[in-house]
């Protein structure tokens, strides 16, 4: 069946904040043209990973010639994605561009949105993660707020921009017109906070960072350990309730018993009646002591395979090498090999399998002559 966004023409004029948006639309079948100024560095892994599957055009959109070229392309485009900054707002102004093509959808991705008192504030990933509340929830309770070391706010903003672009595309079937999609990266990060805002709103409690523990699951305020040292790293394991938690806890106890580990209080617990929302901290601590001894004897891979076999909840804390070697991803054809400047590049494939087939990436990430030659040969 044909690609879902076949025929969709997307102009990607974004900076780092918006790269993922065009990648997602390209993976879903749109024809995405990516603009980079002459001489702009496109060599980083980050650039390649998020600009693969797009057609690269070298053009400076801040000079009149580049602007004229963009305007010609706008006439036949469906979606233009930009990350307007001081000095480039006019080039991507929806009002002006809709004069050229009233059906054009303009997606503007900025740290705080195009309106409001902080619309002009400077922010990179760390400030956006701070503004969106995510950093207040990551890190040790008595330590500094943390971000994820690989930038996340750009991905949140780009993903929300793709949703916005396609929502506007759906609206166009009804209205016949394009519109402006004004994406706030700060607001996009709030999505990552799960239901944390409801604690402030309903209970007057401000959730805080809990380090390696999970909070917010108990009315007694008890914290549950999440990360357990194992032989070659860490395991993420949590005492859950409900049907799935019951099976996991029962299987863990059975596994420990088979291996001859001391069960402590675990052996006497009726897991069908265990409710994590009501357990006290002392009860949690006494349950976790023997679990820690047991998990400390396992490797990450051992836990992954055996927990799967026993239908238990819990996963190892993977690094990029663990992920790259995961047979599950290999079996699903997640990785896609494309020509790169130094040989083959292995990319994350399209995030969705459509009608049983993962849509293939069709364009390599770089525009060097070498890559173009390789692409023709493959």
Partner 1 sequence: MNAGVLALDGVKIVEFGGYAAGPHVGKMLANFGATVVHVESMSRPDGFRMQYPPYKDDKPGINSGGCFTYFNDSKYGVTIDLKNPEGRKLARKLADWCDIVIENMRPGVIDRLGLGFEELRKSNPGLIMLSTCNMGQTGPRADTPGFGSQLSALAGFCGLTGAKDGPPMLLYGPYIDYVASTLGATAVLAALERRQRTGNGAYLDVSQYECGLLFLAGSLLEYHTSGKIAERAENDDPDAAPHGTYACLGEGWIALSCWSSEEFARLCGAIDRADLGRDPALATLAGRKAAAARINDALNAWTRDREAHEAARMLQAAGVHTHAVNSVADLFTDPQLIARRQWSRRRHPVIGDQAYCAPAFELSETPGDVTASGPVLGADNERVFRDFLGMSEDEFNAVRAQGAMD
Residue whose CB is less far from partner 1, 69 or 341: 341
In the complex, least distance from residue 82 CB atom to partner 1, rounded to whole angstroms: 14
Residue whose CB is less far from partner 1, 197 or 267: 197
In the complex, least distance from residue 69 CB atom to partner 1, rounded to whole angstroms: 26
In the complex, least distance from residue 258 CB atom to partner 1, rounded to whole angstroms: 21
Phi-psi category of residue 224: left, alpha or beta, with phi > 0 → left and psi -120 to 50 → alpha:
beta
Residue whose CB is less far from partner 1, 52 or 59: 52
Residue whose CB is less far from partner 1, 355 or 377: 355
CA angle 338, 161, 44 (to 5 degrees): 35
In the complex, least distance from residue 85 CB atom to partner 1, rounded to whole angstroms: 13
Residue whose CB is less far from partner 1, 11 or 123: 123
Residue whose CB is less far from partner 1, 237 or 294: 237
Give the Cα separation of 136 and 129 in Å (integer).
Answer: 9
In the complex, least distance from residue 296 CB atom to partner 1, rounded to whole angstroms: 13
290 φ, ψ (degrees, to nearest 5)? -65, -30
In the complex, least distance from residue 367 CB atom to partner 1, rounded to whole angstroms: 17
Give the Cα separation of 69 and 284 in Å (integer).
Answer: 64
What element of type H or E holds 235? strand 233-236
Nearest to 20, CA basis, from 162, 133, 127:
162
* Exposed / middle / buried, residue 199 (Cβ in 10 Å: 0-12, 13-18, 19+): middle
Residue whose CB is less far from partner 1, 59 or 287: 287
In the complex, least distance from residue 65 CB atom to partner 1, rounded to whole angstroms: 27
In the complex, least distance from residue 25 CB atom to partner 1, rounded to whole angstroms: 8
Q: Tell me how far apart the terminal alpha carbons of the chain are, to the nearest angstrom.
A: 23
Q: Are 225 and 232 contacting, i.e. CB atoms less than 8 angstroms apart?
A: no
Q: To which residue do tokens 């060097």 refer? A: 368
* Exposed / middle / buried, residue 102 (Cβ in 10 Å: 0-12, 13-18, 19+): exposed
Do β-strands 213-214 and 224-225 pair in parallel, antiparallel, or remain unpaired?
A: antiparallel
User: For the residues of 106-124, what is the DSSP string, one character each?
Assistant: EEEEESS-SSSTTTT----
Residue whose CB is less far from partner 1, 128 or 291: 128
Residue whose CB is less far from partner 1, 66 or 359: 359
Q: Are 129 and 135 contacting, i.e. CB atoms less than 8 angstroms apart?
A: yes
The set of residues, in sequence order, having a beta carbon less than 8 Å from that of 347 and lying 6+ positions away, is: 48, 49, 52, 335, 336, 337, 338, 361, 365
In the complex, least distance from residue 26 CB atom to partner 1, rounded to whole angstroms: 11
In the complex, least distance from residue 358 CB atom to partner 1, rounded to whole angstroms: 9
Q: The tokens of 370 are what?
A: 């070498």
Residue whose CB is less far from partner 1, 87 or 356: 356
> CA dist 56 to 35, 38, 65, 205, 370, Å?
6, 11, 17, 49, 14
């Amino acid at each position: 069946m044909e690609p879902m966004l076949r025929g969709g023409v997307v102009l990607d004029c974004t900076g780092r904040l918006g790269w993922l948006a065009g990648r997602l639309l390209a993976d879903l079948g749109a024809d995405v043209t990516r603009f980079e100024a002459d001489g702009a560095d496109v060599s980083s892994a980050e650039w390649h990973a998020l600009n693969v599957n797009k057609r690269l055009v070298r053009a400076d959109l801040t000079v009149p010639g580049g602007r004229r070229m963009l305007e010609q392309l706008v006439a036949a485009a469906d979606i233009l994605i930009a990350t307007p900054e001081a000095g480039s707002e006019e080039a991507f102004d929806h009002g002006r561009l809709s004069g050229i093509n009233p059906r054009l959808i303009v997606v503007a991705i900025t740290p705080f949105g195009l309106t409001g008192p902080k619309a002009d504030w400077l922010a990179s990933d760390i400030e956006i993660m701070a503004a969106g509340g995510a950093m207040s929830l990551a890190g040790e309770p008595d330590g500094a707020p943390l971000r994820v070391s690989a930038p996340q706010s750009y991905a949140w903003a780009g993903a929300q921009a793709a949703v916005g672009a396609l929502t506007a595309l759906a609206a166009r079937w009804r209205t016949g017109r394009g519109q402006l999609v004004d994406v706030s990266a700060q607001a996009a990060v709030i999505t990552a906070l799960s239901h944390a805002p409801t604690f402030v709103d309903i209970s007057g409690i401000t959730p805080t960072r809990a380090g390696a523990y999970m909070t917010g699951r108990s009315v007694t305020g008890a914290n549950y350990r999440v990360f357990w040292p194992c032989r070659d790293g860490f395991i993420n394991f949590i005492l859950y309730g409900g049907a799935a938690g019951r099976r996991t806890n029962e299987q863990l106890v059975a596994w420990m018993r088979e291996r001859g580990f001391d069960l402590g209080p675990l052996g006497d617990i009726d897991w069908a009646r265990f409710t994590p929302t009501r357990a006290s901290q002392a009860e949690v601590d006494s349950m976790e002591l023997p679990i820690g001894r047991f998990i400390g004897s396992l490797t990450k891979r051992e836990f992954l395979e055996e927990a799967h076999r026993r239908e238990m909840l819990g996963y190892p804390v993977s690094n990029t090498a663990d992920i790259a070697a995961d047979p599950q991803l290999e079996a699903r054809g997640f990785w896609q090999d494309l020509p790169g400047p130094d040989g083959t590049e292995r990319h994350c494939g399209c995030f969705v399998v459509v009608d049983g087939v993962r849509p293939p990436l069709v364009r390599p990430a770089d525009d060097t002559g070498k890559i173009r030659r390789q692409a023709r040969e493959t």
